[in-house]
């Protein structure tokens, strides 16, 4: 199911398993820039990131993409904890370049389309810091709240979206 580069409108999605060294460094910078919103807020070293990227080649339960617009990488997206039997996955994204903030809505729509129409998922799940503004973006696309959970002493909102075609 993993492919190197996918094209949607004027965006390209490059699978992490095929990133160049420089692109891996960029993806790590994007991740560490957004760590305050993540479950794991620890700074990730370049060495650990490179090892993790290499292990993605053998992991069918995770798909990570670096997203480009006009050949400029500006965000990363992922599908993780993929359950092919239930046809569902958790997903997330993080913006790397603030100048591309206006692209987030367009890319979230594409993320949902890929999940339901290309990967064949019936359900998308996510967990977000309860104070993260992306919760409102998810609600705009129809995500429903599924409760608040505590992780490492912080509140996170569980959300889901069901494929309406089913």
CATH assignment at residue 48 = 3.40.630.30
Query: What's the rounded mean pLDDT across residues 58-64?
Result: 94
Residue 62 lies in a domain: yes
The pTM (predicted TM-score) of the whole model is 0.89
Residue 117 lies in a domain: yes
On the question of pLDDT at 162 being above 60, the answer is yes
Mean pLDDT of the chain: 91
- Residue-wise pLDDT for 31-48, tens only, equals 998 887 777 778 999 999
Contacts of 96 (CB under 8 A, 6+ apart): 26, 27, 29, 30, 33, 34, 73, 74, 75, 76
Q: Which residue range forms the structural domain that includes residue 34? A: 5-121
């Amino acid at each position: 199911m993993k492919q190197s580069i996918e094209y949607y409108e004027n965006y390209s999605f490059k699978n992490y398993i095929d990133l160049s060294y420089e692109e891996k460094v960029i993806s790590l910078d994007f991740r560490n820039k957004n760590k305050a919103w993540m479950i794991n807020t620890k700074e990730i070293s370049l060495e650990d990131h490179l090892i993790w990227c290499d292990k993605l080649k053998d992991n069918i339960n995770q798909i990570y993409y670096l997203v480009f617009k006009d050949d400029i990488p500006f965000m990363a997206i992922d599908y993780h904890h993929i359950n092919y039997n239930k046809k569902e996955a958790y997903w997330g994204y993080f913006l790397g370049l603030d100048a591309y903030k206006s692209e987030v809505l367009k890319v979230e729509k594409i993320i949902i389309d890929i999940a339901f129409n290309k990967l064949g998922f019936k359900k998308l799940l996510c967990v977000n810091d309860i104070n993260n503004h992306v919760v409102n973006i998810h609600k705009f696309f129809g995500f429903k709240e599924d409760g608040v959970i505590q992780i490492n002493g912080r509140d996170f909102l569980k959300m889901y979206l069901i494929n309406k075609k089913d």
